Structure 1
Amino acid sequence: MSGIVVLGSANMDLVVYVAHAPKHGETVTGREFRTIPGGKGANQAVAAARAGGEVAMIGAVGADEYGELLRHTLEASGVDTDLLRTDEGASGTAHIVVDDQGRNAIVVIPGANGTVSGLGPGDETVIAAADALLLQLELPLSAVLEGAEAARRHSVRTVLTPAPAQPLPPELLAAVDLLVPNEHEAATLTGIAAPRGAAEALLRQVPEVVITMGAAGSLYAARDAAPVTVTAPRVSAVDTTGAGDTYVGALTVALCEGRPMPEAMRWASAAAALCVRRPGASTSMPYRTEIEVR
């Protein structure tokens, strides 16, 4: 078992399925609507727990029906929610449009996530006992930075998904061990479209980078190693929502188990491939037994 702490968001995903996403000023008719527990933090927690990790979640949900369902979903997947706070306001929501090619567009309303401005009582103690801390950028940056610096103080591996992409302060990057952007986020952070070039630029700020490239696979680069590209399994995507979070959760479990990076990337790619074959985010994430079979 690997001890993983996730400091991140929990949102209720409000998902509309359409033939094609509307353009500016256009109205389209959808064929289905679903309410699915999500949020990048909760997604990574569920993915890691289902992949076999021992996972605790730090964050916040609202004092509403969505908050109750988000907490229940995490606990049902084996995530420890003792440090998941309940705020008196509304839970965060993500409004998602998914087209027939499985592509998505997302608008996030932070809700209770916006109240997590820093670590709370007991948070650093749990982080200090972990093997890895998973971070994203759907919480206030002050909380992300405080979590990363706490992990650095206790020599805990810090994995950051820089999404939604935004300029990152040097002090945050200085506390990150592994940065896992997708190719679009990597390009936003560096101004370089080519993943290998973007990875080289990012290595000036962090020691290790994994760039996910969808159907093209993933690229690993480190300051002291030659770049490695791992191909992705060929699948017909139904919904790509949550695929990146599934990859990060499974990758972190594999790394905490001591697997070499290329093997960990292949395992994470297998998990993500299973995820995109099913609709939804947390609802589509595979269990360890499924990943091992693939």
Structure 2
Amino acid sequence: MSRVVVVGSINVDLFARVERHPRPGETVLGSDGSTRPGGKGANQAVAAALAGASTAMVGCVGDDAHAEVGLSLLRRAGVDLTRVRAVPGVPSGVALITVSAVGENSIIVIPGANHEVTRDDIAGLELGPGDVVVVQGEIPVEVVDETACLVERAGARLMVNLAPVVPLAATTLRIADPLVVNEHEAIAAAGILGVEVGEDTDADHMDVASATDLASGLVSSGVGSVVVTLGADGAVVASGEGEPLTCAGESVSVVDTTGAGDCFVGTVAAGLARGDGLAEAARAGNAAAARAVQGHGAQESYDWEERR
């Protein structure tokens, strides 16, 4: 089995639970106040490892107490941390997360050491043709773009999760196979690639038909393959081979959506490294994400029981 290599962020999540998210200028009472490991890159690496992939993480932490918290579940999942660098005098990345009574979250990310990741951190990274390299938007853009070039030269497979939306080079998105985006990110990707978006396309209420049209447009612009995630409605998968497919979602009782998208991405990456087709990997990602939203937090809500 080939490896999954995640080049991305490592954070500590500071959680607050509220009845509802505060309006501007409003103070509300909350609960929890826990500190847990997070970061899109770390979440995806943990999910990939728990899905059975040999997984390595590339990123940075600070030299503070938060660093050990951020790395704790990566270690427990068996992720290779050889290329995780501690940066002296810099705090680890932190995410401030509020979760409402209906499970919806609001997140503020303070990058800290994640902005210290440089091209040197990926220099000499040994990749094989079957390896899957995952990148997101929580480290410097130039490092993500350079990683894409490195992956292309090595003949490995690049998986781009355009989250949060950052101005990646159009060539980086075209190297992606797949590009994984939600509704808002799909529209942003279309803007980067010059893909026309229909006037009736609404990111807040995107249906399967609109997502299919958008995914097809992104593939036509040169992206290797595209997955548009639609929450409970599942995901649309498009590539240059055949018609787009819809992978049905699962209706579950939502406790906390934090990290569910990252669980999907990591699980898909593990499936691709195993040799699964993209649609099959996306179905597994849907199932893993559906289980994750039924638990609290990000990495803690993943498939630890199945691993044991």
Q: TM-score range by the shorter chain?
A: over 0.9
- In the other structure, the counterpart of 1:46 is 46
Equivalent residue runs for 1:17-32 within 5 Å: 17-32=17-32
Report what 1:151 is aligned to: 151
Does structure 1 residue 244 correspond to structure 2 residue 261? yes
Structure 2 match to 1:116 = 117
- Once the two structures are TM-superposed, the CA of residue 288 in structure 1 deviates from its matched residue by 7.9
Instruction: Output the CA distance in 2 between the equivalents of 1:171 and 1:117.
Output: 19
Structure 2 Cα separation of the partners of residues 129 and 113 of structure 1: 27
Alignment of 1:98-177 (within 5 A): 98-120=99-121, 123-128=123-128, 131-177=131-177
Q: Distance in 2 between matches of 1:211 and 1:83?
A: 30
Partner of 1:127: helix, strand, or coil?
coil
Does the CA contact (< 8 Å) of 2:92 and 2:111 recur in 1?
yes
1:70-109 matched pairs, under 5 angstroms: 70-88=70-88, 89-109=90-110
Q: Is the 8 A contact 2:175 2:224 kept in 1?
A: no
Tell me, in whole angstroms, the C-alpha distance in 2 between the residues paired with 1:6 and 1:51: 14
- Structure 1 range deviating more: 248-257 or 87-96: 248-257
What is aligned with 2:206? Answer: none
Q: CA RMSD in A?
A: 1.8
> How many Å separate the matches in 1 of 2:19 and 2:2?
41
User: In 2, Cα distance between the equivalents of 1:120 and 1:60?
Assistant: 9
Taking the aligned partners of 1:128 and 1:141, their CA distance within structure 2 comes to: 24
Asked whether 1:256 is paired with 2:238, we answer no
Contact 1:167 1:189 in 2 (8 A): no
- For the 8 Å contact 1:50–1:288, the answer to whether it is kept is no
For the 8 Å contact 2:141–2:166, the answer to whether it is kept is: no
Cα drift, residue 172 of structure 1: 1.6
Aligned-pair identity (%):
41
Q: Is 1:69 aligned with 2:69?
A: yes
CA contact (8 A) 1:7 1:41 kept: yes
1:270 paired to 2:287: yes
> How far apart are the structure 2 equivalents of 1:290 and 1:28?
39
Deviations 1:225-267 (CA, angstroms, capped at 9, x unpaired): 2010011121101000110110011111112212222222211
* Structure 2 unaligned regions, length at least 5: 191-196, 203-209
**81-90 or 224-233, larger mean C-alpha shift:** 224-233
1:231 match:
248
1:79-111 C-alpha deviation (Å, 9 max, x unpaired): 000100001110000111111111111111110
Question: What amino acid is the match of 1:244?
Answer: G
Length, aligned pairs only: 290
Question: What amino acid is the match of 1:201?
Answer: G
Per the alignment, do residues 255 and 143 of structure 1 end up closer, same or farther by CA in structure 2, a change over 3 Å counting?
A: same
Contact 1:10 1:41 in 2 (8 A): yes
1:225 alignment partner, SS class = coil
The alignment's TM-score, normalised by the length of structure 2, stands at 0.89
Matched with 2:193 is none
CA distance in 2, matches of 1:233, 1:264: 15
**Does the Cα contact within 8 Å between 2:37 and 2:72 map onto a contact in 1?**
no
Letter in 2 for 1:196: T
SS of 2:252's partner is coil
The answer (yes or no) to whether the contact 1:114–1:139 under 8 Å persists in 2 is yes
| AA partner of residue 224 (structure 1) | E
| Cα displacement string for residues 38-72 of structure 1 (whole angstroms, at most 9, x for unaligned residues) | 00000000000011110000000000111122223
Matched with 2:303 is 286
User: What SS does structure 1 have at the residue aligned with 2:175?
Assistant: coil
Measured in 1, the distance between the counterparts of 2:62 and 2:127 equals 23
